[in-house]
Structure 1
Amino acid sequence: MEGQLLRLEGNTFQDCMDRLGLELYPGDYQPVRAAGPKGDTKNDGYCPKARVFFAAHATRGERIDKTKAKIRGDLEGCLQEHRDVQVWRFLTNDTVPGEVDQFIDNELRPLYPGVTIEVWGLKKLADEISKLKKEQVDRIIDVITVDEPEFEVVLLDHMKTGRDLWPILSGCFGWLPHEEPDDCTDEEQDLIDSAIQSFQDWSDISGDIEFSRSSVRDAQRSITSILEELAEKKLALFAATADDYPLTGGPSPFLGTVAIFRITRVSGKQPEPTDA
């Protein structure tokens, strides 16, 4: 979920947040778009009954001072343009830096004690969306409801080290559901779930650490350690990527590379490559 939200930019992120508002406040939430000389009146969407106002802004990679100025400007503009604002909620698909959080708590909240000022960052958004029913989640993230596209056969390679797996993790935009043996014990299941989550976490931050060779090596060593834990349980990871997979819905979906993970139980001999 966090990975899907993280990749949204501009109007795509705002559209996603509109769909979230419609699910959280059915019959109340109203999307707002800029029109005319007054723009959107510092209001990206609101609930006339609950008096909750939203500002959605994809802040990924933005300077802290720019984010602070954006938050202050949107909040003060909203309060000037609208009456009886009970809750003002800033939505972003990034993790809010501590400096920004301090700015909100130490400067903005004391200035406007009658307004509940909230910031929903990446993890908060992912958590709130995950609480909803599957069909609601599908509507929010605009999941394609037609059959998944057919792929050509993809050869999965045995991943022995972090160096083997890193090109796949750093080059993908999403993940297909992983496969695993049917006869896993609870301990093995926990190990597999933890391993897959770690691979996805490394993939999410791969773009942030690619500039540092030492950081990449640290990541690869951590991945190697996970693969060794799997090997101790006679489990092997096979992986590959598939290109041009629809990551969003709609008539013109965003296509991207996805990772394919398969965990297999192995005997003492070297496992052979397998097809996806």
Structure 2
Amino acid sequence: MWTRDDYWLAIHFKLQLYEAMGEAFQRLVADVLMAHYQDFVPVRPSGSVGDHGNDGYVRSLGVFFQVYGPANVQEREAARKAHADFAKLRRHYPDLKSYRFVLNDRFRGIPASVLDELNAMQRETGIDCQAIGAGHLLGLFRGLAAEARTLIVQGVPGDLPDWIDPRAVAEVLEHLARYDAGWGDISKRLAPDFDEKIRFNGLDGFAADRLRSLSYQVGSVDAFFQVRDPALAQAVAQELRVLYAKSQQSIAEVDEDAAALRYVWMIKRIIPPDARKRPIVLKAYREAAETVLAKYFETCDVYDTPGTSGRTA
């Protein structure tokens, strides 16, 4: 579960990513990689020779990293650098098996031209080429032991202001509430069958209609996780599984409206207390909360799956 310390550590690391440029970004990435890989070796340029496109490597895996943290990312320049440094690595490091181009995209997403260049390099050489952005780095950071995270950010305050929500789900809610998710194609329907699951759980009327409607915006949640931090999706799933279990304890199964009551019960508790104080903000957060619930209804993290012993159809 997300703790207050986890939240503070992640916030301080994210701020470092937003502010780090050039060598400062390279040092920050090296700190994370050294904590993540036992045999990661950072490389510093040597005189006029430079670093041969190598900012660090994991010898046991043959993974080489090039780290690029400009003040402002220019797509064509970033793609050019990814290609040029890869060519240097191939000339100077015959044990190259995987190439990681680490770009400080400041959570905006890796530019398409960079991804296209890496894909072309992989097709041409057969060497695994991937980009690592700020969201991926945050995911690596969150996976470290608390002691390592604290050392990287050099400590954090012990308390949180009352208006800050430290939960993992709060990050998703804030994004969805601020930006229009839009209406896309119906998502992949990871649940065995969306409508079947609705019927199996005894959902009808308002709750069923809202789940069907908001399922068209679930893609916006997936897009958020891909750019911000893929590991965050699992943290939110864990929080919602716990929340659903609590709803089952609070609302008796024998109540004929149990499924709908649990739906409203969870929505009320997903929305942060500070948002409930402002009607206009509350409306945006309520729809964001329902979109998140639709996402995790699909992935079977809340409510029961047809064919399980969770309830009787």
- TM-score range normalised by the length of the shorter chain: 0.5 to 0.7
Which structure features the higher share of strand residues?
1
**Code of the aligned partner of 1:110:** R
CA contact (8 A) 2:82 2:114 kept: no
CA contact (8 A) 2:76 2:113 kept: no
Match of 2:123 in 1: 110
RMSD over equivalenced CA pairs, Å: 3.6
Match of 1:42 in 2: 53
Question: 1:189 and 1:14 mapped to 2: Cα distance?
Answer: 28
Long gaps (5+) in structure 2: 1-9, 180-272, 283-313
Cα distance change on mapping 1:16 and 1:231 into 2, 3 Å: same
Question: 1:102 and 1:93 mapped to 2: Cα distance?
Answer: 17
Cα distance change on mapping 1:15 and 1:180 into 2, 3 Å: same
Cα distance change on mapping 1:10 and 1:189 into 2, 3 Å: closer
What is the CA distance between 1:59 and its match in structure 2?
Answer: 3.8
**2:40 aligned with 1:33:** no
SS at match of 2:52: coil
- Which of 230, 235, 240 is the aligned partner of 2:277? 230
**2:9 aligned with 1:13:** no
Question: 2:44 and 2:70 mapped to 1: Cα distance?
Answer: 19
**2:153 aligned with 1:137:** no
What is the CA distance between 1:198 and its match in structure 2?
Answer: 4.7
- Which of 110, 113, 119 is the aligned partner of 1:99? 113
Question: 1:195 and 1:55 mapped to 2: Cα distance?
Answer: 30
CA contact (8 A) 2:57 2:65 kept: yes
Question: 1:42 and 1:61 mapped to 2: Cα distance?
Answer: 20
Question: 1:195 and 1:96 mapped to 2: Cα distance?
Answer: 20
Identity, % of aligned positions: 20
Question: 1:3 and 1:230 mapped to 2: Cα distance?
Answer: 28
Question: 2:90 and 2:154 mapped to 1: Cα distance?
Answer: 35
Query: Would you say how many aligned residue pairs link Structure 1 and Structure 2?
Result: 172
- Paired residues for 1:151-162 under 5 Å: none
Cα distance change on mapping 1:136 and 1:197 into 2, 3 Å: farther
CA contact (8 A) 2:100 2:130 kept: yes
Match of 2:80 in 1: 69
Using structure 2 for the length normalisation, give the TM-score.
0.48
Superposed structure 1 runs of 4+ greater than 6 Å apart: none
CA contact (8 A) 1:19 1:139 kept: no
- Which of 84, 96, 99 is the aligned partner of 1:85? 96
Question: 1:64 and 1:9 mapped to 2: Cα distance?
Answer: 16
Which structure features the higher share of helix residues?
2
Long gaps (5+) in structure 1: 150-175, 182-187, 203-225, 236-276
**Code of the aligned partner of 1:13:** F
Using structure 1 for the length normalisation, give the TM-score.
0.53
**Code of the aligned partner of 1:230:** K
